[in-house]
Structure 1
Amino acid sequence: MAYDVIVIGSGPGGYPAAIRASQLGFKVAIIEKESLGGICLNWGCIPTKALLKSAQVYEYVKHSTNYGINATGTADFGAVIKRSRGVADKMSKGVQFLMKKNKIDVIMGYGKIKAKGQVEVTAADGSKQVVEAKYIVIATGGRSRELPNLKQDGQKVIGYREAMVLPNQPKSMIVVGSGAIGVEFAYVYNSMGTKVTIVEFMPRVVPVEDEEISKELEKQYKKQGIEIMTNASVESVDTSGAGVKALVKKQDGSTVTLEADVVLSAVGVVANIENIGLEENAIKTEKGKIIVDQYQQTSVPGIYAIGDCSPGQALAHVASKEGINAAEHMAYLEKKHHHLPDPLDYNNIPGCTYCTPEIASVGYTEKAAKEAGYDIKVGKFPFMASGKASAAGATEGFVKVIYDAKYGEFLGCHMIGTNVTEMIAEAVVARKLETTAHEILNAVHPHPTMSEGLKEATAAAYGEAIDI
């Protein structure tokens, strides 16, 4: 079978690449070994948000008297898991519809590059076929990283996939790693009554975020009853008994043994680049990722790599844009598109963590801005001073903005609080448009909203704050 474009993997990078290529006039096939939508739709972004929403609703019930309502209820763990899976299945079916709508052939099986322009597909029954195309997009994604001293057995030492479908709610859980995956699951399980301890190797939780964000999340999590150990590492686990015993080494070299029903390893993701034909076809890699140019093309012309298997941030929205850019680059080469795509600015990618309180950020942290040599102005607006936050009973957190003192360039924005993941896009668009503090201050923001916190924080940076 001959195509113009073959995409290996149907996650949030693969399926947009296929759709955009089809829109641009290419004959497209997508190869998927498991479920359309990839990890994000089936085992990542989408089902975790469903779990988080259930946890949040349960929190509302437990604290309903704060809103003048007497409500009682218990968490049905099985029903929570079932709802999450239902949401994921619905979204995966949505991708099936999109494939039909855009006339994209779906080939189920494991794809491996056989030669330039050829992909060998091994079906579940072991049968093989070779499909051909002028262009190939590698969108094979990533999987849960395994530490040598923390081997996952799927029962007592688990990754994010098992954490989404545990048959019974554990009474206690140790979460190793405090990135987005770790802190989101910590919130879900703690809110439903599991005793949760987070063990983080770095000096602070959510270590990629601004330091003030880390401090605020730690404060809020401790208030919620989550135990946090930073500057600590799990040296070994003993699964021989009824539960798990984890030997944790502290910064001073001393050790402590933690006991729990289950350990969740949330120490990041690793790219799926093994056994897909890279070495045989001289496709270059570095540090476990496929090397690409600004248009996602690998060292072999005509073969592209996008998403978690390439060097950009391992985020669904990054993968999607990379996939679209790859398709538009092919179309430009084939004179089906009139201009080259805009290469991604990886310093203007929003990061969102959907725990409670939520975290959203873009651009430079305060420390990074100083290290880059900027003279900066920093402003903060606490949600405690927000009328909307007070009305909603969600006064935790703040908005923090960082501007270049000389020109007012919008260097970074960091938020922690309720619904801040819905607010960060303003900062992303503002930075894309090279907006300065002056424009943010003079753009009238609606009141009462959480979103006016961005304007208020900007006013604070320039000594013009009204409400604090």
Structure 2
Amino acid sequence: MANEYDLVVLGGGTAGYVSAIRASQLGMKVAIVEKEKLGGTCLHKGCIPTKSLLKSAEVFSYIKQAAKYGIQAQTPAYDFKDIRNRKDEVVAKMYGGVQHLMKANHIDVYSGTGRILGPSIFSPQAGTVSVENSSGESELLVNKHVLICTGSTPRELPFLPFDHKTVLSSDDMMTLETLPKSMAIVGGGVIGLEFASLLADLEVEVTVIEAGSSIIPAEEKKISRILQKELEKKGIKFLTGESLSAETIVQDEQGITFTLSEVVNAEQVLVAIGRRPNSDDIGLNNTKIKATNGFIEVNEFYQTEDKHIYAVGDVIGNLQLAHVATKEGVIAVEHMNDAAPITLDYDTVPKCIYTNPEVASIGMTEAAAKDAGFDTVTKAVPFAAIGKAVINGDTSGQAILIKDKKSDEVLGLSMIGPNVTEIINEVALAKFMNASTLELGLTVHAHPSVSEVLMELGLAGEGRAIHI
């Protein structure tokens, strides 16, 4: 006998469970199908556990610098088992919260692999979901709508496949029992650099190998250069413009060796070259849904070619960020219910890198704005001009504003420095409200606070900066 729902959500990650809650609020009868654990990659293998590890590494780093703040402390030490246990406790607490939310919102959760079926006696259109559990038994979920939130998994190199022992994925990093003395990281993007930062803070010898000419190529070039310089101060070595092949790599019992512009020896290697969509085994062949390189094609409301089936998050190939996926999911659910949602302007989405120092940005880089035809004005404010940053001892970074000379619109803003992953949200609000640079500069900010850098930037955009 089939179970009937208004909405079946494939994937119980952040986008999936948030969308399910919003659907329940709108009066829909909802089911989630998840083959692992509610919370998905973000909660169990990504956002949350990595930030817990980064926090422990940050604390260890700060204690080592205690003398800079007038504090005499003993030489610190750490036990990685304790750091890992704290990470597991954080995840477990939040996982319990998600399970409670499902019960509180009357959402049914099915454990197993969900696949979309074609037209059948249960429905004249594709969309019925078959759920296969670990025992091989199946049950059918008949529905009015389907929301695909199946996420993504780490990509591997064909000549350097994951063996989960020497060649690691970001998922494998969550289950390490001990840290190696040395690690090579292939990929100078967000994931690779966050792990490089925390490993270096925990005194692991780290080498980052990047095929491109610079790290974090999607960010402002000056921010990229500052970040590399700051990470090099931690002892991280960078090899950019390097092409890997099977001929450049040798594995043995001691670890792995890369023969590039210089020889790199490491006990383990983390491959962080991006993520691929989880769309291979969910029944797309039974639908009209189109996909390119595995990424599902959707419209601005996240409808597929089968208009009652929607898809959001990593599986559609936009910004692969948890907060983007949840916003997309809410828009999709509201569109199902004729709630006239506002479509998402991706230039209003904050992007954060939780290295030490942190990086945050929103909107366009200067190069992208010029390519789009804007006549730009660029202003920069160093954190050395901000009192709270001086107090914190974090003055090496800066904030960069790009505005349209004609309209005074904030086209983009990039920062590297203390607390920038928090204060970027103020810029997100300003972008959402179409605030001008002058309005940003005239907003009263508490003193001393790190966010005063935004006020100074706004004033600088009008030629009225006070402290630079």
Q: TM-score range by the shorter chain?
A: over 0.9
User: Structure 1 residue 191: deviation in Å?
Assistant: 0.7
Distance 2:66 2:243 in 1: 38
Q: Which amino acid aligns with 2:415?
A: M
In the other structure, the counterpart of 2:110 is 107
For the Cα contact (< 8 Å) 1:380–1:458, is it kept in 2? no
Provide, for residues 64-113 of structure 1, a one-character-per-residue CA deviation record: whole Å limited to 9, x for no partner. Answer: 11111122320211111111122112111111000000000010001111
Gaps of 5+ in 1: 249-254, 333-338
In the other structure, the counterpart of 1:183 is 193
For the Cα contact (< 8 Å) 1:379–1:462, is it kept in 2? no
User: Structure 1 residue 246: deviation in Å?
Assistant: 2.2
In the other structure, the counterpart of 2:383 is 383
In the other structure, the counterpart of 2:303 is 297
In the other structure, the counterpart of 1:257 is 263
Provide, for residues 267-289 of structure 1, a one-character-per-residue CA deviation record: whole Å limited to 9, x for no partner. Answer: 01110000110012231111320
Distance 1:342 1:286 in 2: 26
Distance 1:294 1:185 in 2: 34
Q: Which amino acid aligns with 1:399?
A: A
In the other structure, the counterpart of 1:278 is 284
User: Structure 1 residue 461: deviation in Å?
Assistant: 3.0
Distance 1:383 1:347 in 2: 24
Distance 1:353 1:78 in 2: 25
Distance 1:396 1:85 in 2: 33
In the other structure, the counterpart of 1:55 is 57
Q: Which amino acid aligns with 1:260?
A: A
User: Structure 1 residue 373: deviation in Å?
Assistant: 1.3
In the other structure, the counterpart of 2:460 is 460
Distance 1:193 1:415 in 2: 26
Q: Which amino acid aligns with 1:432?
A: F
In the other structure, the counterpart of 2:22 is 20
1:240 aligns with 2:242: no
User: Structure 1 residue 413: deviation in Å?
Assistant: 0.5
Provide, for residues 207-242 of structure 1, a one-character-per-residue CA deviation record: whole Å limited to 9, x for no partner. Answer: 110101101001101111100111113323322232
User: Structure 1 residue 168: deviation in Å?
Assistant: 1.4
Q: Which amino acid aligns with 2:114?
A: G
In the other structure, the counterpart of 1:84 is 87
Distance 2:368 2:318 in 1: 18
User: Structure 1 residue 178: deviation in Å?
Assistant: 1.3
Distance 2:465 2:150 in 1: 48
Distance 2:58 2:217 in 1: 24
User: Structure 1 residue 361: deviation in Å?
Assistant: 0.3
Distance 1:233 1:192 in 2: 28
Distance 1:311 1:226 in 2: 31
Correspondence for 1:98 among 94, 98, 101: 101
Provide, for residues 289-331 of structure 1, a one-character-per-residue CA deviation record: whole Å limited to 9, x for no partner. Answer: 0001111111112111010001321110010011111110111
- Give the 3-state SS of the residue equivalent to 1:391 in structure 2: helix
Distance 2:162 2:320 in 1: 21
In the other structure, the counterpart of 1:325 is 331
Correspondence for 1:315 among 307, 316, 321: 321
Provide, for residues 28-68 of structure 1, a one-character-per-residue CA deviation record: whole Å limited to 9, x for no partner. Answer: 00011001100001110000000000000000111111111
- Give the 3-state SS of the residue equivalent to 2:347 in structure 1: coil
1:151 aligns with 2:192: no
In the other structure, the counterpart of 1:39 is 41
Q: Which amino acid aligns with 1:305?
A: A
Distance 1:247 1:263 in 2: 14
In the other structure, the counterpart of 1:251 is none
In the other structure, the counterpart of 2:235 is 225
In the other structure, the counterpart of 1:335 is none
Q: Which amino acid aligns with 2:25?
A: Q
- Give the 3-state SS of the residue equivalent to 1:423 in structure 2: helix
Q: Which amino acid aligns with 1:139?
A: C
For the Cα contact (< 8 Å) 2:187–2:209, is it kept in 1? yes
Correspondence for 2:210 among 200, 204, 213: 200
Q: Which amino acid aligns with 1:208?
A: A
Correspondence for 2:145 among 135, 147, 163: 135
Correspondence for 2:273 among 267, 271, 281: 267
Distance 1:345 1:316 in 2: 16
For the Cα contact (< 8 Å) 1:359–1:420, is it kept in 2? yes
- Give the 3-state SS of the residue equivalent to 2:215 in structure 1: coil
For the Cα contact (< 8 Å) 2:170–2:270, is it kept in 1? yes
User: Structure 1 residue 117: deviation in Å?
Assistant: 3.0
Distance 1:102 1:129 in 2: 23
The alignment of Structure 1 onto Structure 2 pairs a total of residues equal to 456
Provide, for residues 328-371 of structure 1, a one-character-per-residue CA deviation record: whole Å limited to 9, x for no partner. Answer: 01111xxxxxx311111122211101011101000010111111
For the Cα contact (< 8 Å) 1:377–1:462, is it kept in 2? no
Distance 1:207 1:110 in 2: 36
For the Cα contact (< 8 Å) 2:439–2:458, is it kept in 1? no
For the Cα contact (< 8 Å) 2:348–2:431, is it kept in 1? yes
Distance 2:177 2:437 in 1: 51
In the other structure, the counterpart of 1:336 is none
Distance 1:329 1:247 in 2: 53
User: Structure 1 residue 441: deviation in Å?
Assistant: 1.8
Q: Which amino acid aligns with 1:78?
A: K
- Give the 3-state SS of the residue equivalent to 2:391 in structure 1: helix
Provide, for residues 372-399 of structure 1, a one-character-per-residue CA deviation record: whole Å limited to 9, x for no partner. Answer: 1111111111111111011111112111
Give the TM-score normalised by structure 2: 0.95
Give the root-mean-square deviation of aligned CA atoms: 1.1
In the other structure, the counterpart of 2:431 is 431
For the Cα contact (< 8 Å) 1:247–1:256, is it kept in 2? yes
Distance 1:278 1:257 in 2: 45
User: Structure 1 residue 432: deviation in Å?
Assistant: 1.4
User: Structure 1 residue 125: deviation in Å?
Assistant: 1.6
Distance 1:199 1:24 in 2: 48
For the Cα contact (< 8 Å) 1:322–1:344, is it kept in 2? yes
- Give the 3-state SS of the residue equivalent to 2:259 in structure 1: strand
Distance 1:28 1:204 in 2: 45
Give the TM-score normalised by structure 1: 0.95
In the other structure, the counterpart of 1:64 is 66
1:443 aligns with 2:443: yes
In the other structure, the counterpart of 2:121 is none
User: Structure 1 residue 418: deviation in Å?
Assistant: 1.3
Q: Which amino acid aligns with 1:363?
A: G
Provide, for residues 381-433 of structure 1, a one-character-per-residue CA deviation record: whole Å limited to 9, x for no partner. Answer: 11111110111111121111111111211110000011100011111111111
In the other structure, the counterpart of 1:119 is 129
For the Cα contact (< 8 Å) 2:438–2:462, is it kept in 1? no
In the other structure, the counterpart of 2:408 is 408
User: Structure 1 residue 460: deviation in Å?
Assistant: 2.4
